[in-house]
Amino acid sequence: MSSCPCGSGEPFEACCGPIIAGERPAPTAEALMRSRYSAYATGAIDYLHESLHPDHRHDHDLEATRRWAADSEWLGLEVVKVEGGGEGDTEGRVEFRAAYREHDARRVHQEVGLFRRHEGRWFYVDGRLVAPETVRRDAPKVGRNDPCPCGSGKKYKKCCGA
């Protein structure tokens, strides 16, 4: 038994496998999101189309998705935040980071996915990309000719900035 790609720590056969195979529906929005990640990782691309909300399937490019999933190495999933999407809800949002390697470059896809229950089942509606956080410096920028902040008495360019 192999560990599920979604990072739950459970075996694939007890976690996302039965959801992808259609043996049982995803009980929550998070479970659907995790199963969709596992589908990318295992090449179950038809499931990605089936788990897409029926109102949003018209512009889904199944072959492009298949190529992207096959050309990528799926490295891990991190669930950042879950809002709603429980067994009694009709809508939920799941923020996640999906790490993958594509063309020898490590990438991270961060998204807030919107999920809705339709006819008793959870479906992925769409997602909004999360922009990387802007890094702000607390200390002023040290210029090349300023004294080195390490306290050596030398200019920054001749000390730590060399």
Instruction: Return the CA Rg of the chain.
Output: 22
pLDDT in tens, the chain (162 residues): 689 999 999 999 999 999 999 999 999 999 999 999 999 999 999 999 999 999 999 989 999 999 999 999 999 999 999 999 999 999 999 999 999 999 999 999 999 999 999 999 999 999 999 987 787 777 778 888 988 888 898 998 899 887
Instruction: Give yes or no for a contact between 83 and 72, defined as CB atoms under 8 angstroms apart.
Output: no
Residue 93, phi-psi category: left (phi > 0), alpha (psi -120 to 50), beta (remainder): beta
- On the CB side of 159, CA atoms within 13 Å amount to 15
Q: How many CB atoms lie within 10 A of CB 24?
A: 10
pLDDT (0 to 100) of residue 44 = 96
Residue with tokens 């018209």: 58
pLDDT (0 to 100) of residue 141 = 83
pLDDT (0 to 100) of residue 94 = 98
pLDDT (0 to 100) of residue 73 = 95
pLDDT (0 to 100) of residue 63 = 93
Domains and CATH numbers, the chain: 3-131 (3.10.450.50), 135-161 (no CATH)
Report the Cα 71 to chain-centroid distance in Å.
17
φ, ψ for residue 2, nearest 5 deg? -100, 150
pLDDT (0 to 100) of residue 9 = 94
Task: Give bridge partners of residue 72 from the DSSP assignment.
Answer: 102
Q: What distance in Å separates the CA atoms of residue 22 and residue 24, rounded to the nearest whole number?
A: 5
φ, ψ for residue 98, nearest 5 deg? -110, 115
Q: Could you tell me the two tokens for 113?
A: 């996915």
H-helix segments, 10-152: 17-20, 29-42, 45-50, 62-70
